[in-house]
């Protein structure tokens, strides 16, 4: 993809089985963090506060240059900077595998499951799958520019949604969903047995700066994690966690092309919508899957028609620029064509369709209704990252789910960074610190930066006794410069 760096942050759900003797979810996350960073030494733990809610020891950078940490009680993995969609998919799956391997090494795989989804059916809680796209500082990061992206984001769930049983009863447990539809009585309220997106019920606004206070479609905080004079980071909160590799790549690939069309002023006009949050929910909950959208002009179009307009613009202005772009255009066109027919054509490529097919087949075979708790359990098991248990992996094993990367590529991504971005240089740093650290000396636990042995950020690091080393350009590897810098560093680094 042209001039693009991708990154994916995944918050994992945690399922503790009834017969498990686990003290608590917080104990388990702490135990796993200790295992990854201290026992298997697959990374270097943070020695400093990264924020008021991220104390020392909360997580750290891994040898693959991604980050593993605890965020609001959830274990979260952030991929390293990826310049290709295949790398992004490989490192996303590597994050899953790092957690599952740790569970197995701790002997807990039969008692605990990590679920890569976005909802808790019992509490209505939601947890995120945040997308990151690097753009230049010239990108129109204003209301006019970002509004052009909204219709695409609201409608792309027809091929990026992960699907779910039922609907949320409240937003974060305190705003009743029904308050958004005061004109609809309880008797007239339609039952929603299945919808195509997990996050749609939990998005409350189109733009907002602070994630903690308002879950928006686009987070507008200016935090590039790179040279602020050259770059911005588009941070999206509305997406579902995907199990399908094709869905993950298509989500990022199509969104990357939309950003390019906006940058080049080729984005289709006349597709603005006035109520994006409501339309986001309406599309997700439409039982007929007609997905009709009312535009700001008053005209109505289906979500598929809207997506086809964006596809045609991308075909006209982006086709032929590189092999990966052409792959995205081909897959995008194929998915939109199949969305006009029977949804089962999409099994293995689109998560909501794959899940719906599995659940509906089971429901009919067992003669149970959509409200049966058994189906909610299967809903979760679709997202289980343990290959021996996850329902999605059954589709892979039967050849129904198309792979984009190989298992050996995922194994490499568990321990080694991409070699064509800034992550390569950071990986050199982490591996150096891991190799030089003493096995019998405890970690520094002080919060005083004057006493720390190292501090690592996405765009800079410092090792004690040496000046800061900055890595402001995510497109540069910095590998040789990092090696030269480290060759002069002290060799006894605790960690």
Q: Are 177 and 264 in contact (CB under 8 A)?
A: no
Selecting among 19, 34, 53, 71, the annotated active-site residue is: 71
Residue 356 in any domain: the answer is: yes
**Known active-site residue 451:** no
What is the 8-class DSSP label of residue 126?
B
Taking only the tens place, the pLDDT of each residue in 88-121 is 999 999 999 999 999 999 999 989 999 999 999 8
Answer for the pair 417, 83: CB distance below 8 angstroms, yes or no. no
Q: What is the DSSP letter of 350?
A: S
Both tokens of residue 396? Answer: 């892979």
Mean pLDDT over all residues of the chain?
Answer: 90
Is residue 269 domain-resident? Answer: yes
| pLDDT tops 60 at residue 228 | yes
370 in a structural domain: yes
Contacts (Cβ under 8 Å, ≥6 apart) of 367 = none
- pLDDT over threshold 90, residue 231: yes
What's the pLDDT at 207? 87
Reported as a single tens digit per residue, the pLDDT across 115-158 is 999 999 888 889 989 999 999 999 999 988 999 999 999 999 99
CATH of the domain at 295: 3.30.590.20
438 within some domain: no
> Does residue 291 lie in a domain region?
yes
Higher pLDDT, residue 143 or 191: 143
Res. 203: pLDDT tops 50: yes
387-412 mean pLDDT: 96
Q: Which pLDDT belongs to residue 73?
A: 80
**What confidence tens digit (pLDDT) does each residue in 241-271 have?**
999 999 999 999 999 999 999 999 999 999 9
Whether 488 is in a domain gets the answer no
Q: Look at residue 348 and tell me if it is in a domain.
A: yes
Long-range contacts of 387-396 (CB under 8 A, 24+ apart): 387/100, 389/113, 390/243, 391/355, 391/358, 392/243, 392/244, 392/351, 392/354, 395/347, 395/348, 395/354, 395/358
| Domain carrying residue 69 | 6-412
188 pLDDT tier (thresholds 50, 70, 90): very low
Residue 351 lies in a domain: yes
446 pLDDT more than 70: no
In this predicted structure, the answer to whether residue 392 has a pLDDT above a threshold of 70 is: yes
For helices 85-105 and 245-263, angle between their N-to-C axes, nearest 10 degrees: 140
Residue 451 pLDDT greater than 70, yes or no: no
How confident is the model over 270-320, as pLDDT tens digits? 999 999 999 999 999 999 999 999 999 999 999 999 999 999 999 999 999
Q: What is the Cα–Cα distance from 408 to 30, expressed in whole angstroms?
A: 29
Is the predicted pLDDT of residue 184 greater than 90, yes or no?
no
- The number of domains in the chain is 1
Q: Output the pLDDT for position 441.
A: 44
pLDDT of 442 > 70? The answer is: no
């Amino acid at each position: 993809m042209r001039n693009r760096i991708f990154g994916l942050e995944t918050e994992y759900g945690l399922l503790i089985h009834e017969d498990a003797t686990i003290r608590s979810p917080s104990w388990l996350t702490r135990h796993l963090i200790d295992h990854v960073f201290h026992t298997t030494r697959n990374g270097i733990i943070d020695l400093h506060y990264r924020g008021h809610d991220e104390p020392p020891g909360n997580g750290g950078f891994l040898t693959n240059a991604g980050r593993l940490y605890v965020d609001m009680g959830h274990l979260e993995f952030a991929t390293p900077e990826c310049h290709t969609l295949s790398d992004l998919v490989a490192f996303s799956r590597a994050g899953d595998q790092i957690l599952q391997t740790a569970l197995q090494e701790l002997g807990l795989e039969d008692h605990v499951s990590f679920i890569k989804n976005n909802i808790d059916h019992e509490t209505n809680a939601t947890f995120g799958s945040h997308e990151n796209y690097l753009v230049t500082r010239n990108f129109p990061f204003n209301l006019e520019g970002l509004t052009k992206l909204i219709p695409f984001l609201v409608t792309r769930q027809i091929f990026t949604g992960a699907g779910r049983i039922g609907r949320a009863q409240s937003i974060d447990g305190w705003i009743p969903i029904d308050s958004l539809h005061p004109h609809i009585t309880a008797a007239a309220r339609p039952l929603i047995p299945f919808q195509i997106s997990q996050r749609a019920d939990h998005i409350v606004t189109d733009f907002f700066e602070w994630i903690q206070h308002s879950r928006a479609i686009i987070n507008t905080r200016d935090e590039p994690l790179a040279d602020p004079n050259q770059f911005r980071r588009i941070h999206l909160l509305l997406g579902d966690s995907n199990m399908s590799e094709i869905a993950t790549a298509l989500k990022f690939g199509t969104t990357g092309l939309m950003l390019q069309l906006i940058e080049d002023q080729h984005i289709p006009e006349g597709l603005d919508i006035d109520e994006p949050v409501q339309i986001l929910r309406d599309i997700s909950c439409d039982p007929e899957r007609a997905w009709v959208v009312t535009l700001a002009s008053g005209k109505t179009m289906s979500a598929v028609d809207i997506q086809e307009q964006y596809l045609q613009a991308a075909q006209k202005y982006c086709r032929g620029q590189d092999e990966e772009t052409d792959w995205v255009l081909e897959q995008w066109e194929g998915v939109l064509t199949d969305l006009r027919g029977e949804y089962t054509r999409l099994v293995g490529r689109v998560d909501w369709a794959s899940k719906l097919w599995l659940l509906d087949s089971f429901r009919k075979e067992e003669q149970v209704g959509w409200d049966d708790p058994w189906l909610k359990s299967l809903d979760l098991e679709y997202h289980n990252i343990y290959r021996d248990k996850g329902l999605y992996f059954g589709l892979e094993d039967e050849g129904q789910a198309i792979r984009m990367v190989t298992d050996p590529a995922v194994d490499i991504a568990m321990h080694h960074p991409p070699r064509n971005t800034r992550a390569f240089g950071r990986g050199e740093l982490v591996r150096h610190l891991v190799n030089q650290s003493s096995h019998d000396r405890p970690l520094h636990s002080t919060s005083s930066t004057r006493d720390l042995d190292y501090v690592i950020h996405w765009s800079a690091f410092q090792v004690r006794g040496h000046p800061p080393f900055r890595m402001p350009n995510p497109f540069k590897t910095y590998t040789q410069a990092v090696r030269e810098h480290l060759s002069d560093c002290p060799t006894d680094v605790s960690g």
